[in-house]
Amino acid sequence: MSTQIKAVIFDMDGILIDSEPAWQLAEQTVLNSFGLNLSLEDVEQTTGLRIDHVVSYWHQRFPWPNYDNTATANTIVNEVVSQINAHGQPMLGVIESLEACKRLGLKIGLATSSSSLIIKAVLHKLAISHYFDAIESAENLDYGKPHPEVYLNCAKGLDIAPSQCIAIEDSFNGLIAARAASMQTVAIPAPHTATQTKWVIAHHQLAHAGLLPALLNKVAALLERTASC
Catalytic residue among 13, 42, 52, 170: 13
Sign, Cα dihedral of 81, 85, 86, 88:
positive
13 as an active site residue: the answer is: yes
What is the C-alpha to C-alpha distance for residues 9 and 184, in angstroms, rounded to an integer?
10
Catalytic residue among 11, 18, 42, 170: 11
What is the C-alpha to C-alpha distance for residues 154 and 73, in angstroms, rounded to an integer?
24
Cβ-defined contacts of 121-126 (< 8 Å, 24+): 121/81, 121/84, 121/85, 121/88, 122/12, 122/16, 122/17, 122/19, 122/84, 122/88, 125/17, 125/84, 125/85, 125/88, 126/16, 126/17, 126/88, 126/90, 126/94
11 as an active site residue: the answer is: yes
Catalogue the active-site residues.
11, 13
